[in-house]
Amino acid sequence: MDITLRALITLIHGMLFGTFFLMAVYGLVVELFRSAYVEQPSNLCSKGYSLERFYLICTVGLGWAAVLTGAYVVYPWYRAIPPAGVTNLALYPRYLLKSSAATAGWHDLGMEWKEYIAWMAPMAMTMVAYVLTKYRLSMREHPQVRTTVLVFALVAFGAAGVAGFLGAMLNKYAPVNGGPTIHLRGKSQ
Amino acid sequence: MSAGAGCSVLGILAVVADASKPMARWLTFYLPPGPLSGVSSMAILLWLATWIILARRWRTKTVAIAKVNATAFLLLALGILLTFPPFADFLQGK
């Protein structure tokens, strides 16, 4: 059971940072919807608020980790230019996708959309976390603030969802591979 | 408001980088990721700068939250639309 270093880092970018960010934002969206229907607003103790703040900070951290590893680590591998004369494009995912009309769309739509929309997720989530932390009481007194926070949380979820889905499909058709092979289990090939 | 502004700047710069090779070269702050490095960095800088400026300006003011929200949503929608490749290609006449 082997994996290349680039594939492992791509996995960490998508399945660890990206997926956990998506799950955390989903939980937050559900909680924001639920809080609109409570009859008696709950008051947390100070430890409860600390845990809530920790959750929000971790969610924001996951989002930024996902986009920064994606843009500055994985994306350069994706768009690497094959040397002249190379016919096997397996290590050059962008060129591999664009080499066939059947897969070119995954780059033209997939990566071209993913590389930009993904950045909206941590920006929106940072705003959401800041408002929820600093202006918690305003959410009760000003329903419009709750609406804004909810919309931006939904945008964070949607943007991350689009980026995650497209990333998974891109990795399916043109996986990012290369670098040293890490042997996980069993006999090495 | 600043989050909306950041998202719209991201979309605008994405289209600009795609449409203009000189701008794409200017936005290549770091070679490996290419123009994406400049587009994302400028969007983040503008987002943070807008946040700081508006926080200072509005600290002691009561703002019309409905107008602020509407503007933020419009900017957000603009950003989302401009990052969608078929729409960006349509704007460029591709």
Residue A125 lies in a domain: yes
pLDDT tens for each residue of A101-121: 999 999 999 999 999 999 999
A63 touches A117 (CB < 8 A): no
Residue A188 lies in a domain: no
Please determine, for residue A139, whether its predicted confidence score (pLDDT) is greater than 80: no
Amino acid letter, residue B79: G
Instruction: Test B3 with A127 for CB contact under 8 angstroms.
Output: yes
- Which domain range does residue A29 map to? 2-37+48-82+90-174
Residue A58 lies in a domain: yes
| CA closest to A72 among chain B residues | B33
Please determine, for residue A33, whether its predicted confidence score (pLDDT) is greater than 80: yes
B-chain residues within 8 Å CB-CB of A119?
Answer: 10, 40, 43-44
Helix/strand/coil (H/E/C) assignment for every residue in B32-73 = CCEHHHHHHHHHHHHHHHHHHHHHHHHCCCCCCHHHHHHHHH
B62 touches B69 (CB < 8 A): no
DSSP state of B29: S
Instruction: Test B32 with A152 for CB contact under 8 angstroms.
Output: no
A-chain residues within 8 Å CB-CB of B36?
Answer: 71, 75, 115-116
pLDDT tens for each residue of B22-33: 999 999 999 999
Please determine, for residue A42, whether its predicted confidence score (pLDDT) is greater than 90: no
Looking at residue A146, what is its pLDDT? Answer: 86
Instruction: Test B37 with A71 for CB contact under 8 angstroms.
Output: yes
Please check whether residue B93 touches A, CB under 8 A. no
Looking at residue A187, what is its pLDDT? Answer: 67
Nearest CB to A116: which of B32, B39, B47?
B39
Residue A112 lies in a domain: yes
Residue A42 lies in a domain: no
Q: Which candidate in B2, B36, B39 is best for mutational testing of the A interface (most A CBs within 10 A)?
A: B36
User: A87 vs chain B: nearest CA distance in angstroms?
Assistant: 22
Please check whether residue B90 touches A, CB under 8 A. no
Residue A186 lies in a domain: no
Please determine, for residue A189, whether its predicted confidence score (pLDDT) is greater than 70: no
Please determine, for residue B35, whether its predicted confidence score (pLDDT) is greater than 90: yes
Q: Is the ipTM of this complex over 0.90?
A: yes
**A25: exposed, middle or buried (C-beta count within 10 Å: 0-12, 13-18, 19+)?**
buried
Q: Which candidate in B37, B80, B90, B94 is best for mutational testing of the A interface (most A CBs within 10 A)?
A: B80
pTM of the model: 0.92
Residue B89 is inside which H or E element, if any? helix B85-91
Residue A180 lies in a domain: no
DSSP state of B12: H
Instruction: Test B47 with A120 for CB contact under 8 angstroms.
Output: no
Q: Which candidate in B2, B7, B58 is best for mutational testing of the A interface (most A CBs within 10 A)?
A: B7
Looking at residue A144, what is its pLDDT? Answer: 83
Instruction: Test B32 with A76 for CB contact under 8 angstroms.
Output: yes
Q: How many folded domains does chain A comprise?
A: 1
Query: A46 falls in which pLDDT band (50, 70, 90)?
Result: confident
Nearest CB to A116: which of B10, B47, B69?
B10
- The average pLDDT across A138-161 equals 88
Residue A7 lies in a domain: yes
Please determine, for residue A188, whether its predicted confidence score (pLDDT) is greater than 70: no
Please determine, for residue B68, whether its predicted confidence score (pLDDT) is greater than 60: yes
Please check whether residue A143 touches B, CB under 8 A. no
- Distance, in Å, from the CA atom of A155 to the CA atom of A160, rounded to the nearest integer, reads 8
Nearest CB to B36: which of A75, A108, A124?
A75
